[in-house]
C-alpha cells in the first residue's frame, strides 16, 4: 500500500487528516474523499480514494497508532462527519481482518460481535 503523500513528498499521518467524507455508490465502488494538511509545507490537499484503498490506509494507520479508531475520531477535528459516515466506516472495516484496536472500538460501542 502506498502511503498518502503531499505533493512535496511528505508522508501524511493520521493527525494530518482534516476531513473525511463518504460518497457511497449503490453500484460500483464507494469513494472516500480525504482532505489533509501537510505538516511540512502546509498545503491543503484533497484526494478521492477508492474504498479499498482507504480501508487499507486506515488499517495501516491504526496498526501503527496507540489509539483506537474511536479515540482517534474523538480527538480529531474531522469536520462534519456524520453518524452515517461513522457507520459506513465501521461496516467497511468489519469486512476486513479485524485489528485489535478495532475490536476494542467495537467493544466500547457495546454491540455484539458477529
Per-residue contact track with Zn ion, 15 to 44, x per CB under 5 A?
-----------------------x-xx-x-
Q: Least distance to Zn ion from the beta carbon of 16, Å?
A: 10
Q: Least distance to Zn ion from the beta carbon of 61, Å?
A: 18
Q: Please choose, out of 8-16, 21-29, 63-71, 95-103, the segment that lies near Zn ion by the rule CB under 5 A.
A: 8-16
Are 22 and 75 in contact, with CB atoms under 8 Å apart?
no
How many other CB atoms are there within 10 angstroms of residue 99's CB atom? 17
Q: Least distance to Zn ion from the beta carbon of 14, Å?
A: 16
Residues within the interface to Zn ion (CB under 5 A)? 6, 8, 10, 38, 40-41, 43
Amino acid at each position: 500500500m502506498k502511503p498518502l503523500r503531499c505533493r512535496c513528498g511528505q508522508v501524511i499521518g493520521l493527525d494530518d487528516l482534516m476531513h473525511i467524507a463518504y460518497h457511497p455508490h449503490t453500484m460500483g465502488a464507494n469513494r472516500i474523499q480525504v482532505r489533509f494538511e501537510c505538516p511540512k509545507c502546509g498545503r491543503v490537499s484533497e484526494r478521492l480514494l477508492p474504498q479499498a484503498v482507504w480501508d487499507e490506509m486506515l488499517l495501516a494507520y491504526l496498526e501503527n497508532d496507540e489509539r483506537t479508531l474511536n479515540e482517534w475520531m474523538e480527538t480529531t477535528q474531522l469536520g462534519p462527519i456524520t453518524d452515517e459516515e461513522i457507520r459506513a466506516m465501521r461496516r467497511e472495516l468489519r469486512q476486513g481482518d479485524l485489528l485489535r484496536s478495532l475490536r476494542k472500538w467495537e467493544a466500547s460501542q457495546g454491540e455484539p460481535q458477529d
